Structure 1
Amino acid sequence: MAQQPGAAPPAVGVIAASRQPVTQSTEYIARIQATNRVNLVARVSAYLDEVLFTEGTEVKKGDLLYRLEQGPFRADVQAKEALVAQFKAQLKNAQAVLDRTEQLLKTPAGQKAAYDAASAAEQALKAQILGAEAQLQQSRINLDYTEIKAPIDGKIGRTAVTAGNYVSNSTGTLVSIVSQDPMYVVFPVPTRTVMELQRRSGGKSSALVIRIRLPDGSLYDRTGRLDFVDNSVTGNTDTMLLRGAVPNPRQGGGRMLVDGQLVTAVLEDVEPTDALAVPRAAVLADQEGDYVFVVDKDNKAEKRRVKLGQSTPAFASIISGLKDGESVIVDGIQRVRPGQTVSPGPPAAQVQPPPGTVTGGARQ
């Protein structure tokens, strides 16, 4: 629509496109995973006497969780100890016999055959003692298995069995423990994006930082580092799995990150890069793509196609289509038509990037 003769040019607020430090970032749907997970099973068969933990609480490594019936295993240990003692007594007698036959060899009454028999008997008893001691050690191990202890620090789940039930290795998992601090954040990334991240970071994982957006939309107050990139591509999605480790300390009696939790991983550069930035409100879009209105030296509005880089609700970085210092319309943009003369001025609200960096937020 052409401007009517005599009508005053519409007043618009403009701001100069300027280069700003922009922290490149991308967002991915992610899962929280415990760094360690243990499924406890019974290693001996016995009746369960006691469950010694509270479900859903945190336990320490070495805490006693289950106690199985110990009577039969203690009796077995005592029987094996008696057998070892018996063989040791027999060995003592065999050694005395061997000593006597050895002394007799120095006299006319000594016989080599008797000495050889006594020596063989001594060696046989030594071997029997070794076997009995091995059986005793196995019995003691089985007795120890009647006390099931936490192998790691972590949060314990629900018990699958209660006291009075008969358990064995075939019973399956009695309870699971998942570690709490730190936690992994795991997310798939398109292969092409992984290559771009590697170029941006120079192949150094320390050049990237991971932030987490919690399910309620808030940003978690701890950051993590990328520590793993999978060695293969998932064929049906053409993605690679990335993983970072994030601290998960106790806060206010609980922890913010939970194993299996669905979150958003924000992967961003540690060091910002210099990029041309404009207020996000200046960017419009139609079927052909993104554009802005630029005011030229004659105060005429020009529709300019632009290619966006990283953007946030406040600011957008411009890859192409604008030059540093050009005046971009921010206020009154709805009244502007291409080629129309306008009356530029400062924006109604001072639009300036916050101190520091302008952070991107492209979602994957």
Structure 2
Amino acid sequence: MKTTELKQVSPKFSIRQNLVSLAFATVIGLGVMSSPVAAQQGEAPKPAVVVEPVTTQVVEEERIFAGRTEAISRVDLIARVGGFLEPLKFKEGQSVKKGDVLFVIRQDPYQFAVEQAQANLESAQAQVDLAKLDFDRKQRLVDRDTVAVSELDVARANLKEAEAARSLREADLELAKLDLSYTEILAPTDGIIGSATFKEGAYVTAASGTLATVTSMDPIRVTFPVPQDLIIRSQRNNYESTENLVLRIRLSDGEFYEHEGRLEFLEATANPGTDTVTARAQFPNPDRMLFDRQLVDVVASPKDAEPQLVISQAAMLLDQEGSFVLVVNDKGEVEQKRITIGEQVSGLVIVRSGLEEGDQVITSGIQKVRPGQVVDARLAGQS
């Protein structure tokens, strides 16, 4: 039977072995304990933001106003002499040209008056001729001392009286001719004639009122109210002139009228209730697409507008000092820049000053960053 031998372990060896084990355990323990701490003490990730470059664009700002068409000329036809109407010379609602005969008042009495006045004038002319002969004869006799000078004076007076009577008869003839001309009522302008108040056989006078109305249709005027602040801005930009302003009409079906208009004038008096000024524009209307007193939308926009610096509305920020944006510079750092803005159109803001074309403004992630911070910037639309 074998006896197990116990070996005596050297103290030096035991101490050395324990030290090695302790060091190994310490290294492992430190490694396990230090890994999450290291992760916590490392650099934090950069905040991600979306940027857009400042661009130059032509921004056409449209203004829409509620307008109403208005005939430039609307003339009521009235009788200037009395009489019975002949058959109408037009169809109600038809187009008429300036000078067209529309109504005729029976002319017989006025034609007779003209002939009578003509006869009276011829009689007066005969009296003038007779008085002139008598005056010439008395003049010769006075020169020969055959008759007294007083007889020449009487002849001279008779001649002047005859000439005055002739002038009166000439005036009567002109008046009779004028009355005769009034028996034909003419179209005062091109346009559309409405319904006739009186028909054939009716007796009319100047007191009868309107016989019919002629409304001019081409061109046609459109009136619309404009806020005073917009007028001031337009005057500063010289948009009130015809050359720098485009006026269009949008009809009730949503389509634009094919002809552009031009601004005629602004009323001198503002409406105190609405703080607006009435503008009047003129549009061609050759096809009669527009009617008098029709409701339309007037769309005004600047013509040949200059390119301007613009940014997205999402990039603009406001505080007590005004407008500003956050910009990412070449080093990836966030900078704050104060800007002066203009109009805001279709999601864009016109920048008057404070930025340059190509500057990268932050449009998304603004709430996560502050000036001086380094960020991870990506262009809008990039993944």
For the superposition of Structure 1 and Structure 2, which TM-score range results when normalised by the shorter chain? 0.7 to 0.9
d(CA) in 2 for partners of 1:310, 1:163 = 63
Whole-Å separation in 2 of the counterparts to 1:91 and 1:51: 45
Q: Is the aligned partner of 1:42 residue 2:79?
A: yes
What CA distance in whole angstroms lies between the structure 2 residues aligned with 1:36 and 1:232?
Answer: 22
| Higher gyration radius (CA) | 2
Q: Alignment partner for residue 296 of structure 2, among 230, 238, 263? A: 263
Aligned positions of 1:54-73 closer than 5 A:
54-73=91-110
Structure 1's 45 and 325: CA in aligned 2 closer, same or farther, altered over 3 A? farther
Seen in structure 2, the aligned counterparts of structure 1 residues 318 and 101 have a Cα distance that, compared at 3 Å, is closer
Q: What's the CA shift string for 1:62-119, capped at 9, x where partnerless?
A: 1111101111111111111111011111222222222332233244541222221111
Within the candidate set 229, 239, 243, 1:192 is matched to: 229
What letter is aligned with 1:55? E
Is 1:214–1:263's contact at 8 Å kept on the other side of the alignment?
Answer: yes
Letter in 2 for 1:76: A
Shift of the alpha carbon at 1:46?
A: 1.6
* 1:34-183 equivalences in 2 (<5 Å): 34-107=71-144, 109-183=146-220
Q: Which amino acid aligns with 2:304?
A: E
Change (3 A) 1:109 1:203: same
Deviates further, 132-141 or 267-276: 267-276
TM-score (norm. length: structure 2): 0.70
Structure whose residues are more often helix by fraction: 2
Which of 35, 44, 59 lines up with 1:22 in the alignment? 59
How much identity, in percent, do the aligned residues show?
Answer: 33
- 1:5-52 deviation digits (Å, cap 9, x = unpaired): xxxxxxxx9976644210122110011122222222111122211211
The answer on whether the counterparts of 2:241 and 2:263 sit within 8 Å (CA) in structure 1 is: no
CA distance in 2, matches of 1:122, 1:91: 6
| Distance of 2:254 and 2:65 partners within structure 1 | 14
TM-aligned CA distance change 1:14 to 1:296, over 3 Å: closer
CA contact (8 A) 1:296 1:327 kept: yes
Contact 2:239 2:302 in 1 (8 A): no
Task: Note the alpha carbon deviations across 1:106-155, whole angstroms, 9 max, x for none.
Answer: 44541222221111111100011011101110110110010011121112
Change over 3 Å in CA distance of 1:197–1:295 after alignment to 2: closer
- CA distance, structure 2, for counterparts of residue 87 and residue 125 of structure 1: 7
Displacement of 1:221 after TM fit? 1.6
Higher mean C-alpha deviation, range 70-79 or range 161-170: 161-170
Distance of 1:325 and 1:256 partners within structure 2: 50
Residues 227, 65 of structure 1: alpha-carbon distance in 2 compared, 3 angstrom cutoff? same
Q: Find the residue that maps to 1:159 and give its secondary structure.
A: coil
User: Would you say the 8 A contact 1:25–1:310 is kept in 2?
Assistant: no
Would the aligned equivalents of 1:295 and 1:328 in 2 still touch at CA under 8 Å?
no
Contact 2:263 2:280 in 1 (8 A): yes
- Separation in structure 2 between the aligned mates of residue 108 and residue 30 of structure 1, nearest angstrom: 88
- Counterparts of 2:106 and 2:344 in 1: how far apart (Å)? 63
Distance 1:46 1:256, change over 3 A: same
Deviation at 1:272, TM superposition (A): 2.0
Work out the number of aligned pairs and report it: 312
Change (3 A) 1:211 1:311: same
Letter in 2 for 1:166: Y
Establish whether residue 226 from structure 1 lines up as the match of residue 263 from structure 2: yes
- Distance in 2 between residues matched to 1:345 and 1:319, nearest whole Å: 20
Show structure 2 runs of 5+ residues with no match.
Answer: 1-49, 316-325, 333-340, 369-376
Deviations 1:325-349 (A, max 9, x none): 44657xxxxxx9976xxx989769x
2:51/2:361 contact within 8 Å kept: no
Give the structure 2 partner of residue 272 of structure 1.
305
Unaligned runs of 5+ in 1: 1-12, 284-293, 299-306, 330-335, 349-364
Question: 1:86 and 1:278, CA in 2 relative to 1: closer, same or farther beyond 3 A?
Answer: same
Distance 2:248 2:312 in 1: 24
Q: What TM-score comes out, normalization by structure 1 length?
A: 0.73
Does the Cα contact within 8 Å between 1:17 and 1:327 map onto a contact in 2?
no
Q: Distance in 2 between matches of 1:156 and 1:277?
A: 53
Displacement of 1:267: 1.2
RMSD (Å), alpha carbons: 3.7
In structure 2, how many angstroms separate the alpha carbons of the residues matched to 1:61 and 1:48? 21
- CA displacement 1:178-226 (0-9 Å, x = unmatched): 2222221211111111111111226634211211111111111211221
